[in-house]
């Protein structure tokens, strides 16, 4: 055990009224220092205490050495969007410490390495200097491990300081180190050391506390990418081809883990799925399209730069009518952009991707439930409409831990779309691959290898007629692309419909994807703080159904909230329904950080003032 610190500041300030179960913690550290396990331990322990919680990892594009921040928000009311204000700051990074301290609001709690000597920087925050470096030498004899173990010391200190139950810390650690008993013991000891130090050295009541409640019973904590992978597994994916790219890699990596457990055939021992790491995204999407053409349920997961490379193939999928599922976990573009930051920057790019007239169904998951469920929606729609379907996730949803209800076991059978087998082909009268038999624009396809001599056809990205024959006839071309247009528009009726909350107010908000969390909180802020009542429509898919028109028409002022610079969703609504464009105003957030409620509510208030 280390000597108790004699630093005078450790006699902590006393607060009469602690703030309970409403706080955000930020850990400022260095990338590659192994703090992720420590941060997840804090998060999981708070979660297991029944308090709604979320974690956002604000990390650099770097393997080791650059500053990184992890924020945890615990909130009794269930607000788990990012909050800009930090209540409890843990300063472990000398590089950024001064700025980190300068950024916290008055009244915050700052825990820091004693040696950083931050206590004189401000007198409106509570400093808790801790001799982390001294302590870690005592706890961890192996020099090489100290860099990692020091993180567990702050877990112990924070746990004691804000009241996280030590049993829950132990449980979280036991889970994290389930296969490494030696490491577990070392980490448990480090947490204890931090805790004991805090008990012995910190007196008085801290300002922020957590207390057990029961709002997370039955829930799970999971990253969106993992949820999507689970969704794909249950949606019957049979081929995934990919090329690694942040923030999408963990979709396929999770799928690889799941497949190893759940897709080995019990009878034959064979793999009932093909997962290929391709040489680039061009090859990945090429494999997906080739496999789908031959009847596989196939997918790829990528991010913006990958979509750019895939564009030519996406047009082929659209025009030759071959299914493909593309999970786009969006990051901040253009170009390499901020590769480890979030954005809804590919909204427009994906909806109308590739040259010529194109239009692709897009799904916009806002939470874990949808990250999981939209996977099946995507596969079913891709095969039903014989086209590329985008699952438009983002880094915030994909890579951060979110609280959610357990996944519901799928009720629906797989929709494999209009596929004619040998019998179907024999019965079909004058079958043509691109004929609109049912009036919905969706033709019937056949799969290579079907016997009977009737199903063969030639797939091509060049001009073709209803029988898949090459043609340069302008009329045949126009008729074909008009049919495809009808087909794609028809998907609007079966894709997830918008969710509308509230009616009759003058102000309408439209948002989609991961903005949802912040919007819920912002609407409460607007109502409580500013007396502004709002209605809210959340878009869940493109092409747009008529209900979006109805919503816009029913409101005097409509604010479209999105996470990009150009207001891409507003542009799309304006392009699809040009008469509505003048009614739409953008609220845009594009710092690469997840959207927070205050940004939205402040923008609405200021726009409302201007407007009235």
Does 377 engage in binding with another protein (CB under 8 A)?
no
Least CB distance to another protein at residue 179 (A): 13
Q: Which is nearer to another protein, 335 or 462 (CB)?
A: 462
Does 369 engage in binding with another protein (CB under 8 A)?
no
Selected range binding another protein among 1-9, 82-90, 286-294, 335-343, rule: CB under 8 A: 286-294
The Cα–Cα gap between 309 and 378 comes to 21
Q: Which is nearer to another protein, 457 or 477 (CB)?
A: 457
Out of 6, 63, 144, 268, the only residue in the binding site for another protein (CB under 8 A) is 268
Q: Which two tokens stand for residue 460?
A: 């091509």
The Cα–Cα gap between 286 and 69 comes to 38
Least CB distance to another protein at residue 48 (A): 8
Does 296 engage in binding with another protein (CB under 8 A)?
yes
Selected range binding another protein among 189-197, 331-339, 455-463, 598-606, rule: CB under 8 A: 455-463
Q: Which is nearer to another protein, 100 or 373 (CB)?
A: 373
Q: Which is nearer to another protein, 47 or 208 (CB)?
A: 47
Q: Which is nearer to another protein, 71 or 450 (CB)?
A: 450
Does 230 engage in binding with another protein (CB under 8 A)?
yes
Q: Is residue 578 within 8 Å of residue 584, measured between CB atoms?
A: no
DSSP 477-539: HHHHHHHHHHHHHHGGGTSPPPEEE--S-SEEEEEEGGGHHHHHHHHHHHHHHH---EEEEEE
Does 185 engage in binding with another protein (CB under 8 A)?
no
Tracing tokens 């009932």 back to the chain, one arrives at: 272
Q: Which is nearer to another protein, 270 or 610 (CB)?
A: 270
Selected range binding another protein among 8-16, 135-143, 264-272, 499-507, rule: CB under 8 A: 264-272
Does 531 engage in binding with another protein (CB under 8 A)?
no
Crossing angle of helices 368-385 and 224-234, in 10° steps, is 40
Q: Which two tokens stand for residue 351?
A: 């909806």
Q: Spell out the SS3 assignment of 273-288.
A: CEEEECCCHHHHHHHH
Does 84 engage in binding with another protein (CB under 8 A)?
no
C-alpha 246 chain-centroid distance: 12
SS3 355: coil
Residue 387: which of 481, 458, 478 has the closest Cα?
481
Does 595 engage in binding with another protein (CB under 8 A)?
no
Please count the other Cβ atoms lying within 10 Å of the Cβ belonging to residue 19: 13
Does 287 engage in binding with another protein (CB under 8 A)?
yes
Q: Is residue 1 within 8 Å of residue 138, measured between CB atoms?
A: yes
Least CB distance to another protein at residue 291 (A): 4
Instruction: Give the x/- contact pattern for another protein in 307-336, rule: CB under 8 A.
Output: -----xx--x--------------------
The Cα–Cα gap between 318 and 291 comes to 15
What is each CA distance from 39 to 25, 346, 589, in whole angstroms? 10, 30, 26
Q: Which is nearer to another protein, 470 or 493 (CB)?
A: 470
Dihedral of alpha carbons 46, 47, 48, 50, sign: positive
Does 220 engage in binding with another protein (CB under 8 A)?
yes
The Cα–Cα gap between 71 and 31 comes to 14
Q: Which is nearer to another protein, 114 or 373 (CB)?
A: 373
Residues in contact with 409: Cβ distance below 8 Å, sequence separation at least 6, in sequence order: 234
Q: Is residue 420 within 8 Å of residue 428, measured between CB atoms?
A: yes
Q: Which two tokens stand for residue 536?
A: 């809210």
Q: Is residue 396 within 8 Å of residue 594, measured between CB atoms?
A: yes
Does 290 engage in binding with another protein (CB under 8 A)?
yes
Least CB distance to another protein at residue 609 (A): 44
Residue 126: which of 114, 108, 102, 112 has the closest Cα?
108
Out of 69, 70, 128, 234, the only residue in the binding site for another protein (CB under 8 A) is 234
Q: Which two tokens stand for residue 369?
A: 């439930």
Residues between 466 and 495 that touch another protein (CB under 8 A): 470
Least CB distance to another protein at residue 253 (A): 15
Least CB distance to another protein at residue 444 (A): 15
Q: Is residue 494 within 8 Å of residue 501, measured between CB atoms?
A: no
The Cα–Cα gap between 547 and 191 comes to 53
Does 462 engage in binding with another protein (CB under 8 A)?
yes
Selected range binding another protein among 151-159, 390-398, 448-456, 583-591, rule: CB under 8 A: 448-456
Tracing tokens 């000891």 back to the chain, one arrives at: 189
Does 455 engage in binding with another protein (CB under 8 A)?
yes
Selected range binding another protein among 139-147, 263-271, 337-345, 576-584, rule: CB under 8 A: 263-271
Out of 55, 129, 231, 286, the only residue in the binding site for another protein (CB under 8 A) is 286
Does 172 engage in binding with another protein (CB under 8 A)?
no
Q: Which is nearer to another protein, 268 or 612 (CB)?
A: 268
Does 390 engage in binding with another protein (CB under 8 A)?
no
Residues between 397 and 436 that touch another protein (CB under 8 A): 406-407, 409-410, 413-414, 416
Least CB distance to another protein at residue 552 (A): 38
Least CB distance to another protein at residue 239 (A): 6
Q: Is 595 exposed, middle or buried (0-12, 13-18, 19+ CB in 10 A)?
A: buried
Least CB distance to another protein at residue 24 (A): 23
């Amino acid at each position: 055990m280390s000597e108790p610190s004699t630093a005078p500041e450790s006699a902590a300030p006393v607060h009469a009224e602690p703030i309970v179960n409403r706080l955000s913690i930020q850990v400022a550290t260095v990338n590659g220092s192994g703090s992720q396990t420590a941060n997840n331990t804090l998060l999981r322990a708070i979660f297991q205490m029944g308090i709604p919680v979320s974690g956002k990892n604000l990390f650099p594009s770097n393997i080791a050495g650059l500053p990184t921040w992890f924020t945890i928000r615990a909130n009794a009311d269930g607000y788990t969007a990012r909050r800009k204000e930090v209540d409890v700051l843990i300063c472990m990074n000398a590089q950024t410490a001064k700025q980190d301290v300068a950024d916290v609001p008055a009244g915050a709690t700052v825990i820091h390495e004693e040696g950083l000597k931050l206590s004189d920087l401000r007198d409106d925050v509570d400093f808790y200097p801790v001799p982390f470096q001294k302590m870690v030498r005592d706890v961890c004899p192996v020099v090489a491990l100290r860099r990692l173990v020091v993180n567990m010391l702050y877990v112990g200190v924070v746990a004691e300081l804000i009241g996280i139950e030590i049993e829950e810390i132990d449980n979280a650690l036991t889970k994290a180190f389930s296969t490494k008993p030696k490491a577990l013991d070392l980490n448990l000891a480090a947490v204890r050391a931090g805790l004991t130090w805090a008990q012995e050295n910190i007196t008085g009541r801290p300002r922020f506390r957590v207390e057990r409640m029961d709002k997370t019973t039955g829930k799970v904590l999971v990253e969106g990418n993992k949820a999507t992978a689970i969704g794909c597994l249950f949606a019957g994916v049979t081929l995934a081809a990919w090329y690694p790219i942040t923030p999408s890699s963990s979709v396929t990596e999770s799928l690889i883990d799941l497949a190893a457990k759940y897709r080995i055939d019990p009878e034959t021992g064979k793999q009932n799925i093909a997962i290929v790491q391709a040489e680039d995204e061009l090859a990945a999407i090429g494999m997906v399209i080739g496999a789908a053409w031959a009847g596989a349920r196939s997918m790829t997961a990528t991010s913006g730069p990958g979509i750019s490379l895939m564009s030519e193939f996406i047009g082929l999928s659209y025009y030759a009518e071959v299914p493909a599922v593309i999970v786009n976990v969006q990051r901040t573009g253009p170009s390499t952009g901020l590769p480890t930051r979030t954005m809804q920057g590919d909204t427009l790019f994906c909806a109308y991707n590739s040259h010529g007239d194109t239009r692709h169904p897009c799904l916009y998951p806002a939470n874990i439930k949808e990250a999981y469920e939209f996977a099946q929606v995507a596969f079913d729609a891709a095969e039903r409409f014989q086209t590329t379907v985008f699952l438009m996730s983002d880094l915030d949803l994909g890579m951060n831990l979110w609280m959610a209800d357990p996944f519901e076991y799928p009720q629906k059978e797989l929709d494999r779309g209009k596929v004619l087998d040998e019998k179907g082909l024999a019965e079909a009268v004058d079958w043509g691959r691109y004929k609109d038999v049912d009036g919905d624009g969706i033709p019937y396809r056949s799969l290579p290898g079907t016997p009977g001599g009737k199903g063969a056809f030639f797939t091509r990205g060049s001009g073709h007629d209803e029988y898949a024959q090459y043609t340069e006839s302008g009329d045949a071309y126009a008729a074909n692309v008009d049919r495809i247009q009808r087909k794609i528009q028809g998907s609007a009726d079966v894709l997830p419909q918008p969710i509308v909350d509230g009616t009759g107010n003058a102000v309408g908000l439209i948002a989609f994807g991961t903005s949802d969390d912040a919007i819920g909180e912002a609407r409460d802020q607007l109502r409580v703080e500013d007396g502004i009542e709002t209605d809210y429509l959340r878009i869940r898919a493109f092409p747009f159904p008529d209900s979006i028109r109805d919503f816009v028409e029913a409101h005097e002022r409509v604010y479209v909230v999105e996470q990009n610079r150009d207001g891409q969703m507003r542009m799309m609504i304006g392009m699809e329904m040009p008469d509505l464009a003048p009614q739409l105003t953008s609220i845009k957030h594009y710092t690469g950080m997840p959207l927070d409620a205050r940004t939205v509510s402040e923008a609405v208030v200021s726009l409302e003032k201007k407007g009235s």
